[in-house]
Structure 1
């Protein structure tokens, strides 16, 4: 098997969502992990705007940041995953962590952004419950 085929299989079959959007925010790549996490099939998602996975109250901030990245080619998010809320096809929200990769042509013109996303809702809920329990126990101290 050649490396191109291996890379294609990794992207296609990973449990994490792998999404690629062009400059306009139109989804051009949507893998099986994205289908599993967000509930949209690739046929439904490809060609749609990213708003299908961004909760409405977060869209204005998201798009302002998107435009800034497209203009400058710089993002404030480095190697640390970004934590954001996400939107499932059924309207429910989830907690996501993701990293991004700016994809530029040979001149440096950004053609789009690839993202690898993971649903961390269960972990986030457990941590929230633990923080609440710690606060409760600390309040009981004499």
Structure 2
């Protein structure tokens, strides 16, 4: 017996943010986890540009890749996890990790890009602190030059 899955319920109940945008980069789907992560309600996000969550210094690079993906129907990232900075509604920075999926029309044109996003801000900060501490410890253990 096959169980049917309510995909709307799935998208609304997962812990990761799921954000979909159309060919122009306007947000067309924004789940509750996206609201918790980025601070924008669904009403505030729908129809807006992805720029609301992309730091300004990253926007040109993002849009270059986005438009190329829409034109070619291919993403160079495949199933890779991408780690990039993002921005919360209140302006504070986030470190996110995400995968992308391309949705297609019946004639095989890309109609939307879906990102499944996880907030890794705390993990990234912890990793950065561990690397800093390791560097400090290595400096303490390094042989000191013989000074007269």
TM-score (norm 2): 0.91
SS at match of 1:3: coil
Asked which structure has the greater CA Rg, the reply is: 2
SS at match of 1:63: helix
CA-to-partner distance for each residue in 1:65-91, whole Å, 9 max, x for gaps?
A: 101111111111122210011110001
Tell me the distance in 1 between the aligned counterparts of 2:135 and 2:5: 51
Tell me the distance in 1 between the aligned counterparts of 2:13 and 2:43: 16
Tell me the distance in 2 between the aligned counterparts of 1:137 and 1:67: 45
Matching residue of 1:80: 80
Q: Which has the higher helix share?
A: 1
How much is the aligned-residue C-alpha RMSD, in angstroms?
1.1
CA-to-partner distance for each residue in 1:10-65, whole Å, 9 max, x for gaps?
A: 10111211111000000010000000000000011001110000011110100001
Tell me the distance in 1 between the aligned counterparts of 2:19 and 2:115: 5
Structure 1 stretches of 4+ with a deviation exceeding 6 A read: none
SS at match of 1:68: helix
Tell me the distance in 2 between the aligned counterparts of 1:20 and 1:105: 15
Deviation at 1:138, TM superposition (A): 1.1
SS at match of 1:129: helix
Matching residue of 1:13: 13
Matching residue of 1:3: 4
SS at match of 1:134: helix
Tell me the distance in 2 between the aligned counterparts of 1:134 and 1:106: 53
Tell me the distance in 1 between the aligned counterparts of 2:4 and 2:17: 21
Matching residue of 2:60: 60
Deviation at 1:4, TM superposition (A): 4.1
SS at match of 1:18: strand
TM-score (norm 1): 0.94
For structure 2, list consecutive stretches of 5 or more residues without a partner in the other structure.
Answer: 144-148
